[in-house]
Amino acid sequence: MLSSDQIESYRRDGFLVLPDFVSVDACRRLRERALAIVDAWEPSQERSVFTTNEQERTSNGEFLESGAGTWCFFEEEAFGPDGELTQAKELSINKIGHAQHDLDDEFGRFAYNPDIAEVAADIGMADALALQSMYIFKQPRIGGEVGCHQDATFLYTDPITVTGFWFAIEDATLDNGCLWAEPGGHLGPLRQVFKRNATNDGTIFEPLDHTPMPTPPPVGDTLVPLEVRAGTMVVLHGRLPHWSGVNRSGVSRHAYSLHCISNSAAYPSWNWLQRPGDFPLRALSAAR
């Protein structure tokens, strides 16, 4: 699937952009299915909000149980001072996560695409397991910032194997909050891990290395924008620092992110995302 030059580019930069990887029709079907899930979903009293800031203070039962389910999480700015939504529900959701690729037929067809499995094998993950996925809305005007982070912080294995396969379902631009990545940043250390905190049924960050993360624009200059068209797949190394800013435009930036790990790597029980024994992970190459 990948050329030797593409493989070398991925090893050098820690990311690889593959335009026109999936069809516009496949993107449309996934978008329609995501909107249908949101339409049918009824929030609980917890009204879970997703934010990458101070995550140990915002993790709740719905978040910690979503590794084996399909749940909708609100945007941080979705609510007004009175605690009520300031726009329609379908324009207030940050993301859907985290097991829809194993629970929903349309998401399953998209995630278990043999072409994705081939790319994973080309970069050294012939035994890739589909760990978790997110449908990200990046809503107009309130689409939240995703702070500069490394995926291995949240989905740790020993050795580190987590790899992100990020799909632009709509065009991603500077205006609507495209990804930014640090070329070569995956060669640096993992800064922290995100653990379940047994003492309070929450989560906590545990520092590993004090090397600063890249500073986002406009101050920092080491991150580069990944402006891509719908249908593009971006492969992201687990230690690669990447970021996306707030979407203040009037245009959404829908994306789908699938994270995979190697079957041969150890997956600690302290990872926030856990599945029950009767719901095992499936191989990325599994037929759907």
* Tens digit of each residue's pLDDT (9 = 90 or more) over 188-240: 999 999 999 877 778 899 999 999 999 999 999 999 999 999 999 999 999 99
From 110, 46, 54, select the one nearest 72 (Cα to Cα). Answer: 46
CATH of region 4-283: 2.60.120.620
Do residues 97 and 66 lie in contact, with contact meaning Cβ atoms separated by under 8 Å?
yes
| One-letter amino acid of 67 | G
Pairing of the two strands 15-18 and 224-226: unpaired
pTM: 0.94
CA 191 vs CA 156, 205, 211: distances in Å: 12, 10, 7
Average pLDDT for residues 7-33, to the nearest whole number? 98
Do residues 94 and 247 lie in contact, with contact meaning Cβ atoms separated by under 8 Å?
no
pLDDT value of residue 56: 43
* Tens digit of each residue's pLDDT (9 = 90 or more) over 96-143: 999 999 999 999 999 999 999 999 999 999 999 999 999 999 999 999
From 196, 164, 190, 177, select the one nearest 55 (Cα to Cα). Answer: 196
Report residue 162's pLDDT band, with 50, 70 and 90 as the boundaries. very high
Q: How far is Cα 40 from Cα 29, in angstroms, rounded to an integer?
A: 17
Backbone angles phi, psi at 52, to 5 degrees: -90, -5
